[in-house]
Amino acid sequence: MTTTTTAEYTIPPQYKTDRRSPVRWVISHALHEWWILLLALVGALGNAGLMAVASVQIGEAFNVVAAEVFDPRALLRIFWIIIACGLGRGVLQFSRNFGFEFCAQRIERNVRRELYASLLSKSMTFHNLQPVGDTMARATNDVREVNFLFSPGLNMVVGSLAFLIFPFIAAPRYNVSLMLVPGVFIVLYFVVLRIYMRGLAPITEEVRESFGVLNIRLAESLDGIETVKGSAQESGEIALFDHNIKRYRDAAIAQGRKESKFLPLLLYGIALAAGLLHALLLFQRGLIDIGAVVGYFGLLLMLDFPTFSSLWAYSRISLGLAGGKRILELMNRENNLDQNLAGHALPLRGEVEFRDVTFRYEGGQPVLENVSFTVQPGQTVAIVGQTGSGKTSLVRLINRTYDVSAGQVLVDGVDVRDWNLANLRRNISIIEQDIFLFSRSIADNIAFGKPDAAREEIIAAAKAAQAHEFISSFSEGYDTVIGERGVTLSGGQRQRLALARAFLTDPRILMLDDSTSAIDSATEDHIQRAIYAAALGRTTFIITHRLSQIRWADLILVIRNGQLAASGTHEDLLRTSDAYRRIFNE
């Protein structure tokens, strides 16, 4: 069964998974591929069985050669049986390897989809607290470790276990007492293996954890490379990175040290010696013939595969489970928001009301406290205040990027928590100061919120945002591919593309978070007219310090230290609000 959690967005699951523990989760994925695993299991058992048959036949060949009357036809028959066993083993071994590898690739694909869908469903509270580098380490390397758990990990383990049991099964054909050595070996093998795995588990978890920390630092350093170079802190960053590398190296060495003390190697050597001695004693007493000694020793040699493959196969399983644990930790982390599929989904008019709203980040002090105001549909609201006063947090409560800690935010008289989240957000567009653009064409970036938009609609939105002129100057126009985050564009160009993106979706509520801060003075007048035109007929919130934008707002909210210090028109506030006047004097 799947753990029940709230989510901002859910993709219909490909199948149910049990997220209560890494082992249950891996098994629930594996059970969906049961027919592939069955094929691999048949291959593993058949391969080991034919190996046992070949060992027995080699013993029979010794009896034929040692017989008083040599029978060439019997030897030829044994020859063809061994050849057939070799050919059959080739086919069955391919079946085992192909089955586990195919299963591993399919499960990796499904795990990636499940994790990606889970990450998309998380709230911004989660993403603000979760380091991107750690998320990427879990989404790439930890998922890959789950793949390796199945192939080569489980592939070698299942194959080796088949080789472990056939000497025990085939030994009685010579003498029942010959079951003793392989039987004792199997018991001691699993006892030692249990001890080994229990000691290996925390080490492999540390390997995965230290790799995640290493990745976090790498991602942060590269993301902030301009700051690092601007502050001449390359040496300091290298020192920190070296510290994290040392932690990862030490964990990997600890894993190698643990693997080097793997006792089954000693058990294997003892089993060969004890088994051969036992068979020779029985031969001396005339209880078995020379062929039985050779055949039995050949069966004991089959213990070679489970002994040596387990040196690294079980490490792959331990690493895979450690990776699965980190993936589950990410997916099972509680969400604060719910997409509310059955919620309110009528067309949105744009009325917004805050009723005694208090908001705090988890475990922190209130960012907003007892804020109340009402905005009528179509009004333009300017939000002003000092840096860190809570302006951005206020508008983020409207589309439920965050949820209130106390009080209510209502849209069209309905609490935002009672709205269908997707419907609510489709009718709200936010243009932030830090514009994010994708490594796609300009047309694709503008149409991100409306992928089916016609080229004419895209061009009209670009013209409204005063972006058409600079787009047309590129050799490929709207098909020009821009770099990640729009690094090939100027700040003003990025923000005009963001304006075009918002205009195209035609939202009922538009939020501009200091979105014209990077626009040069030559185009500011055009942008102001575009924003004014876009604000007509829709509720608009503008976070700004530009007097030209504040003056024409229908309502101005003055936020100071997380509280609504004053509200009214520009002229009213200049007369009545010291906080408002102080903002322009500072």
Q: What angle (nearest 5°) sits at the alpha carbon of residue 396, between those of residues 390 and 402?
A: 100
- Average pLDDT over every residue of 130-147: 84
| 338 part of a folded domain | no
Identify the domain containing residue 379 by its residue range: 352-585
Whether residues 426 and 543 share a domain: the answer is yes
| 485 part of a folded domain | yes
Q: Quick one: pLDDT band at residue 520, thresholds 50, 70, 90?
A: low
| 346 part of a folded domain | no
CA dist., res. 441 & res. 462, Å (int): 14
CB 557 within 8 A of CB 382: yes
Whether residues 311 and 413 share a domain: the answer is no
| 37-72 burial code (b ≥16 CB/10 A, e <16) | bebbbebbbbbbbbbbbbbbbbbbbbbbeeeeeeee
- pLDDT tens-digit series, residues 150-207: 988 889 889 888 898 999 999 999 999 999 999 999 999 888 888 887 888 888 888 8
Whether residues 105 and 33 share a domain: the answer is yes
| 347 part of a folded domain | no
Domain boundary among 332, 365, 394: 332
| 403 part of a folded domain | yes
218 or 142, higher pLDDT: 142
Q: Which of 349, 508, 346 lies closest to 429 in space, CA to CA?
A: 508
Q: Quick one: pLDDT band at residue 501, thresholds 50, 70, 90?
A: confident
What percentage of residues in the chain have a pLDDT greater than 90? 28
pLDDT of 3 higher than 60: no
Q: Quick one: pLDDT band at residue 524, thresholds 50, 70, 90?
A: low
Single-letter amino acid, residue 1? M
CA dist., res. 462 & res. 162, Å (int): 66
Whether residues 307 and 363 share a domain: the answer is no
Whether residues 566 and 440 share a domain: the answer is yes
Region of poorest pLDDT, from 18-27, 118-127, 289-298, 466-475 = 118-127
Q: Quick one: pLDDT band at residue 2, thresholds 50, 70, 90?
A: very low
Domain boundary among 297, 332, 367: 332
Whether residues 378 and 287 share a domain: the answer is no
Q: What is the pTM of this model?
A: 0.68
DSSP per-residue codes, 432-465: -SS----SSBHHHHHTTT-TT--HHHHHHHHHHT
**Which CATH number characterizes residue 389's domain?**
3.40.50.300
* Tokens read off for 8: 């901002």
The residue written with tokens 């051969």 in the block is 276
What is the rounded average pLDDT for all residues in the chain?
A: 84
Q: Which helix (H) or strand (E) holds 122?
A: none
| 235 part of a folded domain | yes
Whether residues 418 and 551 share a domain: the answer is yes
Whether residues 358 and 325 share a domain: the answer is no
- pLDDT tens-digit series, residues 239-249: 888 888 898 89
**The dihedral formed by the CA atoms of 164, 168, 174 and 175, expressed in degrees to the nearest 10:** 150
**Which CATH number characterizes residue 253's domain?**
1.20.1560.10
Instruction: Give me the residues paired with residue 509 across strands.
Output: 428, 539
- pLDDT tens-digit series, residues 272-290: 999 999 999 999 998 999 9
Whether residues 367 and 311 share a domain: the answer is no
* Tokens read off for 436: 């994010």
CB 78 within 8 A of CB 322: no
Q: Which of the listed ranges 82-91, 154-163, 475-484 does the model predict with the highest average pLDDT?
A: 82-91
- Average pLDDT over every residue of 17-38: 90
| 256 part of a folded domain | yes
Whether residues 299 and 392 share a domain: the answer is no
- Average pLDDT over every residue of 547-571: 85
Q: How many independent structural domains does the chain possess?
A: 2
Domain boundary among 332, 363, 398: 332
pLDDT given for residue 4 in this prediction: 44
End-to-end CA distance of the chain: 59
Whether residues 291 and 414 share a domain: the answer is no
Whether residues 262 and 314 share a domain: the answer is yes
Q: Quick one: pLDDT band at residue 141, thresholds 50, 70, 90?
A: confident
pLDDT given for residue 1 in this prediction: 38
